[in-house]
Structure 1
Amino acid sequence: MPRLEGRFDAIVIGTSAGGVEALSVLLPALPPALRASVFVVLHLPRDRPSLLVDIFEHRCRHRIREAEDKEPVEPGSIYFAPPDYHLLVDRGRDRVVRVALSSDDMVHFSRPSIDVLFEAAADLYGCRLLGIVLTGGNEDGAAGLAAVRRLGGVCVVQDPDDAQAAYMPQAALKKVEPDFVLPIRQIAELLGGL
């Protein structure tokens, strides 16, 4: 089994169709001592409340929350993008890393957008970022993962043959040569070794 080398301050995960099932394997595998903050974009209907916190809070050993604008980022917490808002991270003048929510235009017909999160996180965390693209039905995440790669982060893509919807991982593989292309259970093992 491959291992991740280095220390990560943040992990960004992007997914769409089939994402709840994939995250149900991945998020519970995160080790209890994980200090990295985890940010997740799952494409959701824009006009309904998200149930992701309810779905995952009893399955995971980490604090899980729907991201709120301007809140300080806490190590070891998992943040879900709320419906109809882009999720970003930024360091303010006080040097504290905070969540930022944006209602800017949709990207690839999506808000929240995986690309928006990945690009903001890559700018902030550079080589201390782990980016993961999972199952999904559009190309959101490919450009964002390319930004993670360009700024020195580690890139993981779910094996398209293992994905419920192969298009998103395939699009990522066309733009980026990732460090790992693995089925979801092996990505979970990879994260479990952090």
Structure 2
Amino acid sequence: MNHRELKKALRVEALARRDGLEPQWRIEASISMARAADRLATTPGMVVSGFWPMRSEVDVRPLMAALADRGVRLCLPAIIDKQTIVFRELKRGGEMIDMGFGTWGPGPDAPELTPELMLVPLAAFDARGHRIGYGAGYYDRAIERMQANGHTPRLVAIAFDCQEVDEVPEQPHDVQLGEILTESGLRAFPQPLGA
């Protein structure tokens, strides 16, 4: 099995486990994750990107609300084309538009921001901090673009424990995560030498 086929198989298995979680339990776990807002060590005015949950994902809206109460500036991804996402500021009462895939985001009049802290969705992850996304590569390209422009955002993955797999096959373009927040709490991943 090549990298792509193995990632696809791991994605399908992890998502099936996530989909099998009781909806009420997912809601309670998502709410409990908001208590980690203080552990994320944000400062007023810091730009934090979240995401609109789709299907059985962790609902990060309670966490984003807790971060907003601490004075951060929130943004959400906006799909520009089949290759690109940007991050637009999320403000109470601001226009929200359908971004596809069952997600919503700020409209084109919202300012584009560069996140300092990114809450990163995923399908699966391993204990080394490697992730499997949904297959479109939006986040990998967005992070790569930010890094090329001199920005290195702090990356905190958001998932349920059941999405962990033994090992994600890595490729040179894959972005390694720094931390993950699950219902078990916030944990850091070991960083490679020279990182």
Task: Please tell me the TM-score bracket, short chain as reference.
Answer: 0.3 to 0.5
Of structures 1 and 2, the one with the larger relative CO (CA 8 A, separation 6+) is 1
TM-score (normalised: structure 2): 0.40
Structure showing greater radius of gyration is 2
TM-score (normalised: structure 1): 0.40
